[in-house]
Structure 1
Amino acid sequence: MSHMNGYVQEASGQAKSHRERAVDCPGDESSLVKSPHSSAHMERIQHYQEELKKRREEDSRGKHDIDPNASLRLKKLSQNPKVGIDNPTFEGKEKVTKDTFLQDPVAGELRGEEGRTELAELLQALKWAHHCLTDAQSQQDVELIMQLLAKEDFKNAYTIYIAVSQQMTRVIPTSPLTAQAEDLCQEVQKILQSSQHKEGLELNALLTNPHLQAHDSVAGQEMAEESLTQYIGETVKLVRLEKARDTPLGATVRNDMDSVLVSRVVKGGAAEKSGLLTEGDEILEINGTSIRGKHVNEVHDLLQQMQGTLTFLLIPSSQIKPAPHRQTVMHVRAYFDYDPSDDPFVPCRELGLSFQKGDILHVISQDDPNWWQAYRDGDEDNQPLAGLIPGKSFQQQRETLKKTITDRSPEHQGRLWYAKKNKRQKKKSTTTLSRNIDYDDILTYEEMSLYHQPANRKRPIGLIGPTNSGHDELRRRLLSIEPEKFAVAVPHTTRNSRIHERNGREYHFVSRPGFETDLAAGKFIESGEYEKNLYGTSTDSVRHVINSGRICMLCLHTRSLQVLRSSNLKPYVIFIAPPSQERLRSLLASDGKTPKPEELKEVIEKAREMEQNFGHFFDATIVNMDPDQAFHELRRLIDKLDTEPQWVPTSWLC
């Protein structure tokens, strides 16, 4: 219990101090924020690099081969933004990567060669100057510069600087003006049909090639046109994303002191599709606007106004990332209602996915065990981003805690916390509490799979409802209209047979010891005793109807549901719910019944109780407002089993 309290307190604390915020959500987007000028951008990059290196120097100070204070000229040179370093030594620092733009590795390699060639020429010039100088201080300065330029780390840094400088000024291709080039082509061809000019014939020939069809196909794609990532050393990362107007970025951010961190990358957004933003990245700038020190709400408002090219300046996450693995979709049925607006623990309320008991959810990410990412069945096309739902174990813990608190009345709480107990009583109470907290008994989600029933093995139909709801009348009507298609399972009994009865037709007549043996072995779906005789319906009897190619119709009691689902019969359970109290009174009156008002109220209360406690077993619900309409709806549901696959527990198919 203490562990559970600590968990909730920790979650509550995180909800307050590290609340996530979706950087943007689908909605109105306004003016395009242009990217900053390249030279100013580079100066800011160098500033962030300097700040990061100073932090590392404070943690571990080492000896340097070159002392920048030994020469005033060298100190000025190291502060020159064109050189791009904040310390002329790199001893003890992380190795600067050679990676350049992922989109054009060949061009990056060529630019790297150009940078190294320029350094080689500079070294030759310094050697010549060294021989020409006679002043000792000047010779020492030149020697220090030559040592710096000869270092491999400096060469790599200079290569990256050359690549960045050239790439920042590159021209981005414009978007296509139209996605109907093929239609325009056909109009021009009609005009040119009567033309006999040489130019007209040549143009007509050009317009018959398939390139314009390909143009329309590409122009019509709603996707990020371009993604770009680039590493400036191993300390700062430059990411460029193309954000379409109707496609949200799909990421959440949180505050960590003055820093703004990428907290979550949501499936379906531009960030997830590009693979360039990762959880834990610190955002320094967006399109030249400094982000450090801003609240997550300010970041959200800023990105709401942006579209087109977004340029992020990031410090990559220092967390060790697990090896990428292929995400598999898990389909689950929810066994509780969920509204994120009422959940104080949801990390990002804007991305919370509401659902109701019985909904099918497609879980596409369980990277965060506490908050899964999912789509609701049928909403995939209208829901661009995945939504956040509570993870199974997290929800089980919450439901267990809620149940434990609810089960204690005020009087019981007083006895529990204030009454004196001996050691034996305390030990007994602790043991009972531990035994009651069984997460497997808490219904949250059940994994589901699609199942299409074979033509020769129909699923049994179980009708369930309170007395006077009409479920037994619906079963009798089906059996009387189509006896060749529907049948009932022959029950077992321990009473003696009568003259007109035949074993296996009206009943299976068995001995009481044999009945009790089969009952203990779990072979009966339902059973009971009447006038000192036992009655019951066995799974073998249901299976016999299924093997005959007919549909077995069952009227069930709630206590039979678990047994039936645990068998391999794959039942389809339909709940027959009563209408309003006044309508129910009219229906029963038409059958010659005159129930009392309290009896009508009891039927409705019983139905509500059944749905509350056993609704997770129901595949469909029919409100019996009118017997004819209810019968046609029942036939429609049964016929649908032959034409459409249905969601069933995955355990049934194992």
Structure 2
Amino acid sequence: LEELQQALKWARRCLADAQSQQDVELIVQLLADEDFRNAYGLYAAVSQQRTRVGPTSPLTVQAEDLCQEVQKILQSSQQETGLELRALLTDPHVQALLQAHDGVAVQEVAEENRTQYLGETVKLVRLEKARDNPLGATVRNDVDSVVVSRVVKGGAAESSGLLSEGDEILEINGVSIRGKHINEVHDLLQRMHGTLTFLLIPSTQIKPPPHRQTVMHIRAYFDYDPSDDPFLPCRELGLSFQRGDILHVISQDDPSWWQAYRDGDEDNQPLAGLIPGKSFQQQRETMKRSIMDRSRERQGGKLWYAKKTKKPKKKNPPNFGKNADDDDVLTYEEMALYHQPVSRKRPVALIGPTNGGHDELRRRLLSLEPEKFAVAVPHTTRNSRIHERNGREYHFTSRANFETDVASGKFIEFGDYEKNLYGTGADSVRHVVNSGRVCLLCLHTRSLQVLRSSNLKPFVIFIAPPAQERLRTLLASEGKTPKPDELKTVIEKAREMEQNFGHFFDATIANVDPDQAFHELRRLIDKLDTEPQWVPTSWLC
């Protein structure tokens, strides 16, 4: 060190520019600093000690655990002779020394003392596992072996980089694992926490080159409870979600079990969760339906899931009002964030049963802010009246033209009333959108699929009626006197809508208080201008 200082002083005199002299001066000051000299002295002592002949391997990799056991023994003892040793072992410096010793020992054993286990090269891996937190890996049985089948993103196993898929686990903290069922291994790991030492036979699988995982955002169209899924590889790693939740899928390496985060949980839940893959979920739901249908048919009972009843059709064209894919198994839909342009507002569809309050909310919006909200001018085959003008109250057309437009898919919704046809055309909605106003729609639920496929990017809000007595009060304030059966029908119809079409709803408003429901509706509509919303990626193609 002294020789280096002398050389730097000589070099400083030989340098011509001021910047180089300042650089050398900084190094000289560092070498003269007392803390640096103490650190260098410690380094020199350790280096000298390492040159001496010592044991080829550490005597233990669990010095810290042994220290804790000794402390427990001394704590239970009432003798004063152990007080001094107990004070020494609880000293923070000694505990840090033992922790550092175990860390170095594990690396030495893993790197220098690779040995043979029944003719196989093995390695030692040490991981830290928090109490009551999963390790972030799943295992499978391969005859008598227990093999790592999956490493979950964000867990201790994945962040360490020491466990790989295909590694065979021989021991965990000295407990032999070979021959155990995966449920036994699971229960064993649940009881363990702190430092876990794995004895492994490394995987011989040829690993593909690392690639950047593309995150896929999906909306769930079914409820999922991991505790009720017997096929889940590890229940503690399952991610529960409800219909309508946005999920961020970060890994589809296993087509049956994707790894995902629920929207908003990424920061609070670093460990990804397992969810059923789309194809796997479709297959087992289809199989479940088939089995239950056959069982019900044999027993002469009803089907276990709701199917649309086929009502007698009126004189309508073929496929009049038919929705495609009604019986498809709903799993997930890929989503993307979308911010509506200032000049092209998304249509807002209010959905709800008759007398549920959605018509009243629409009329209130139109009357208070006609410059912001508008309705699409409907089409009809009836004759115009004296005060009506074509294109203002209605688009008047012939039945032949109306039915031609129906066959061409130009209507979002249509039907007949008193032998005349009425309908809402997609072009009429588009005309309102192009004017910069919000088009308000009150539609039947069966029209939602047509609306969603129309490239209009609708925002669908379900207006849920209140409980029966409250509903009676609200309708009475409007001068209506519904019978108990009619009130019950409104509530049952709302429940049926939510069950069968709830996956199409972007938001739900409970119409318990009309003023509160109106303000909540305005808040949701205003939010479309300020915040991006999740929409199907197919809308943005």
The amino acid of 1:354's aligned partner reads S
State whether residues 127 and 157 of structure 2, in contact with CA within 8 Å, keep that contact through their aligned partners in structure 1: no
Q: Specify the alignment match of 1:650 in structure 2.
A: 537
Deviation for aligned residue 1:581? 1.1
Deviation for aligned residue 1:324? 3.1
Of 362, 367, 370 in structure 1, the residue corresponding to residue 253 of structure 2 is 367
Distance 2:523 2:445 in 1: 24
Q: State whether structure 2 residue 370 is matched by structure 1 residue 483.
A: yes
Deviates more, 1:359-368 or 1:302-311: 302-311
CA gap of 1:336–1:171, structure 2 versus 1, over 3 A, is: closer
| Bigger relative contact order, structure 1 or 2 (CA pairs below 8 A, ≥6 apart) | 1
CA gap of 1:508–1:282, structure 2 versus 1, over 3 A, is: same
State whether residues 123 and 202 of structure 2, in contact with CA within 8 Å, keep that contact through their aligned partners in structure 1: no
Distance 2:281 2:61 in 1: 51
The amino acid of 1:236's aligned partner reads T
Q: Specify the alignment match of 2:25 in structure 1.
A: none
Of 264, 282, 288 in structure 2, the residue corresponding to residue 402 of structure 1 is 288
Q: State whether structure 2 residue 270 is matched by structure 1 residue 384.
A: yes
Of 448, 471, 476 in structure 2, the residue corresponding to residue 589 of structure 1 is 476
Q: State whether structure 2 residue 445 is matched by structure 1 residue 563.
A: no
CA gap of 1:305–1:615, structure 2 versus 1, over 3 A, is: closer
Aligned residue runs from structure 1 range 150-549, under 5 A = 230=111, 232=114, 235-243=120-128, 245=130, 248-296=134-182, 299-300=185-186, 302-304=188-190, 310-408=196-294, 410-412=296-298, 441-549=328-436
Distance 1:239 1:321 in 2: 20
Deviation for aligned residue 1:252? 1.9
Distance 1:241 1:440 in 2: 51
SS at match of 1:502: coil
Deviation for aligned residue 1:297? 5.1
Distance 1:453 1:520 in 2: 31
The amino acid of 2:281's aligned partner reads Q
Distance 1:562 1:321 in 2: 44
Q: Specify the alignment match of 1:103 in structure 2.
A: none
SS at match of 1:585: helix
State whether residues 138 and 233 of structure 2, in contact with CA within 8 Å, keep that contact through their aligned partners in structure 1: no
* TM-score, normalised relative to structure 1: 0.59
State whether residues 331 and 362 of structure 1, in contact with CA within 8 Å, keep that contact through their aligned partners in structure 2: yes
CA gap of 1:540–1:337, structure 2 versus 1, over 3 A, is: same
Q: Which runs of 5+ in 2 are unaligned?
A: 1-52, 65-102, 302-324
Deviation for aligned residue 1:275? 2.6
Distance 1:301 1:410 in 2: 39
Distance 2:494 2:125 in 1: 58
Deviation for aligned residue 1:595? 1.0
Q: Specify the alignment match of 1:623 in structure 2.
A: 510
SS at match of 2:499: helix
* TM-score, normalised relative to structure 2: 0.71
Distance 1:276 1:600 in 2: 63
Deviation for aligned residue 1:559? 1.7
Distance 1:582 1:348 in 2: 46
CA gap of 1:346–1:287, structure 2 versus 1, over 3 A, is: closer
Deviation for aligned residue 1:609? 0.8
Deviation for aligned residue 1:288? 4.2
Count of paired positions: 418
SS at match of 2:457: coil
Deviates more, 1:632-641 or 1:313-322: 313-322
Distance 1:414 1:532 in 2: 40
Q: Specify the alignment match of 1:641 in structure 2.
A: 528
Deviation for aligned residue 1:363? 1.2
Deviations 1:176-217 (A, max 9, x none): xxxxxxxxxxxxxxxxxxxxxxxxxxxxxxxxxxxxxxxxxx
The amino acid of 2:221's aligned partner reads Y
Distance 1:644 1:354 in 2: 26
SS at match of 1:328: coil
Q: Which runs of 5+ in 1 are unaligned?
A: 1-161, 175-224, 416-437
Distance 2:399 2:439 in 1: 26
Deviation for aligned residue 1:307? 5.4
CA gap of 1:645–1:296, structure 2 versus 1, over 3 A, is: same
State whether residues 146 and 180 of structure 2, in contact with CA within 8 Å, keep that contact through their aligned partners in structure 1: yes
Deviations 1:39-79 (A, max 9, x none): xxxxxxxxxxxxxxxxxxxxxxxxxxxxxxxxxxxxxxxxx
State whether residues 460 and 507 of structure 2, in contact with CA within 8 Å, keep that contact through their aligned partners in structure 1: yes
State whether residues 134 and 237 of structure 2, in contact with CA within 8 Å, keep that contact through their aligned partners in structure 1: no
Of 602, 610, 613 in structure 1, the residue corresponding to residue 500 of structure 2 is 613
CA gap of 1:411–1:393, structure 2 versus 1, over 3 A, is: closer
Distance 1:313 1:352 in 2: 27
Deviations 1:493-522 (A, max 9, x none): 222222222221111122222222211111
Deviation for aligned residue 1:323? 3.7
Deviations 1:253-281 (A, max 9, x none): 23444422212211111211233211221
Identity of aligned residues (%): 80
SS at match of 1:374: strand
SS at match of 2:497: helix
Deviation for aligned residue 1:413? 6.4
The amino acid of 2:232's aligned partner reads V
The amino acid of 1:393's aligned partner reads S
CA gap of 1:296–1:399, structure 2 versus 1, over 3 A, is: closer
Query: What is the root-mean-square deviation of aligned Cα atoms in Å?
Result: 3.0
